Amino acid sequence: MQVLIIGSNESAEGISELVSSRGHAVREIYDSPAGEFEEDTLDADLILITETHGLVDALGQKNEYERQRVCLAHTSLAQVIHDDVRIDDLFNGLDDLKNRLPFIERRVGIREMKEREFAAVFHSAIDGIIVIDERGIVESLNNSAERIFGYSREEVLGRNVSMLMPMPHSERHDDYIRNYQETGVAKIIGIGREVTGRRKGGELFPMDLGVSEFRKHGRTYFTGVVRDISERRRLEHEILRISEQERRRIGQDLHDGLGQMLTGIGLISQNMARELKKEESRFAGRAQEITELVREADQMARNLAHGLIQVELEGDGLSAALRRLCRNAERFFDVECVLEVDGNVRLEDSSAASNIYRITQEAVSNAVKHGQARVITVSVTNHDHALEITIDDDGIGFPETLSEDRGMGVDIMGYRARVIGGTLTIDRRPDGGTRVRCILSPE
């Protein structure tokens, strides 16, 4: 137990001998004006004040806000202690202190045991845990946080947590905290979201972040729990790559295999229908029906193939693909589908372009099948170097709450947006219908 003795009266020496004899580390401060011993109290488990001239009030105030400790003041009947003094207790002489010490030792021992248990859980957690104060200053972090960000504990403690964030969030972080304290409106506290972290070497990585708030000794603290999801993102990219590869293969098989076979069967049935008609056979009409059905099946197979086979989307290819998508929507669904493209839009990342195309394709399909839309507008713009794709429709609108029967389409759209580092929102339009918006921010 760490014991600090403050004062210089005759009892100080006896108190020091008593405490030392019980195996405790003792430090003594003599003739220090009130307020000049703050740093000395930080590690003390027991503080004994042998003179009360102004020290009780100052130390009591300090004890209110620092780590939990036992604080006793020596007094006599001639001394006056104010009612509002923040002090644990008073003691009167060595005998009184000798009787109290076993109870104090037990109290400190229980507290230290709880602190060790908490530290064991804190540092063994798989997720990174970071505690900051209301100014954004890091108070503590666990071993996983050190591993995730690549910093040692000494490099982070006492510094602003914004050092773990990329621009522009690092510059705005203090404003986020200030706005929350002023308005009480939480944008992330108690909600959790996916954000970008910055390692010591400058590498950016995706992570899940959950933030909670707690108060201690009149001060506000925030606990952030972070999980590095880099590997999950890599696997998601791989899943989408494989699924896109399978789309192309199935589409190619439909086009080159089934499509060609149906074309051949159609020609044969057409010739057969022609011959039967010449012979005035009663089966001529049936043969012509077969020809028409085969032609419809052939067209259906080709339409499926075109929806599955991805065209080259790099550069201006995305605009061309979206233009074909709108034409096909008008042709197959009998709706008006308008494409509005900013002339400055170019996307060189084929993976991002492919996922944006699929998101738009799903949104257009949902607008027709579930929204009963008659007019659909697809807008592609570039705002502040962020690519924005908006799909508006005049249908019956999306439900206020997404129910479990919404199907996988909406989930996959959000999944695709996250994989390419974008965000997806689905909202009801004030004038009716639904708005689907995907924003792809620059790296």
Asked if 435 and 427 touch (Cβ cutoff 8 Å), the reply is yes
Task: Tell the burial category of 255 from Cβ atoms under 10 Å away from its Cβ (0-12, 13-18, 19+).
Answer: middle
- 397 neighbors 369 (Cβ within 8 angstroms): no
Give pLDDT, residue 85: 37
In the chain, the amino acid numbered 63 is N
pLDDT of 184-198, one tens digit each? 666 667 777 888 899
Res 65: pLDDT: 37
What is the rounded distance in angstroms from the CA atom of residue 48 to the CA atom of residue 5? 5
Residue 426 has pLDDT above 80, yes or no: yes
Provide mean pLDDT across the span 407-414: 76
Whether the per-residue pLDDT at 199 is higher than 90: the answer is yes
List, in sequence order, every beta strand (DSSP E) within 217-300. Answer: 219-228
The yes-or-no answer to whether 2-121 and 126-228 have a common fold is: no
The structure tokens listed for 130 are 């970071």
- What pLDDT, on the 0 to 100 scale, is given for residue 226? 95
Angle at CA 391, nearest 5°, toward 328 and 368? Answer: 50
Which of 10-19, 31-40, 362-371, 393-402 has the highest mean predicted lDDT (pLDDT)? 362-371
Q: Which of 384, 383, 364 is nearest to 374 (CA)?
A: 364
pLDDT in tens, 260-278: 788 888 888 888 888 888 8
Phi, psi of 22 (to 5 degrees): -95, 10
- In the predicted model, is pLDDT for residue 100 greater than 80? no
Which range is least confidently modeled, 11-25, 63-77, 117-131, 298-312? 63-77
* Mean pLDDT value across residues 374-390: 90
Given this model, what pLDDT does residue 20 score? 85
Candidate from 43-57, 296-310, 349-363 with smallest mean pLDDT: 43-57
**Residue 373 has what pLDDT?**
92
Amino acid 416: pLDDT: 87
Lowest mean pLDDT among 17-21, 31-35, 165-169, 259-263: 31-35
Higher pLDDT, 368 or 100: 368
pTM score: 0.57
Look at residue 56 in the predicted model and tell me its pLDDT: 46
**What is the share, in percent, of the chain residues with pLDDT greater than 70?**
77
Pairing of strands 25-29, 2-6: parallel
- Distance between CA atoms of 389 and 360, rounded to whole angstroms? 8
Q: pLDDT confidence of 89, banded at 50, 70, 90?
A: low
Domain ranges of the chain: 2-121, 126-228, 230-309, 311-443
| Residue 333 confidence class, pLDDT cut points 50, 70, 90 | confident
Q: How confident is the model at residue 61 (pLDDT cuts 50, 70, 90)?
A: very low
Mean per-residue pLDDT of the chain:
79
Selection from 387, 311, 384 nearest residue 347 by Cα: 387
Predicted local distance difference test score (pLDDT) of residue 443? 57
Please check whether residue 188 is in contact with residue 211, taking contact to mean a CB–CB distance below 8 angstroms: yes
Q: Is the pLDDT of residue 126 over 80?
A: yes
d(CA 132, CA 145): 13
Residue with tokens 């492919």: 354
Q: Which one is predicted more confidently, 158 or 259?
A: 158
Q: Is the pLDDT of residue 311 over 60?
A: no
Architecture of domain 311-443: 2-Layer Sandwich (3.30)
The arrangement of secondary structure in 2-121, i.e. its CATH architecture, is: 3-Layer(aba) Sandwich (3.40)
The two tokens of residue 175 are 């404003």
Question: Is the pLDDT confidence value at 375 over 60?
Answer: yes
The answer, yes or no, to whether residue 430 has pLDDT greater than 60, is yes
Highest CATH level, class, for 126-228: alpha beta
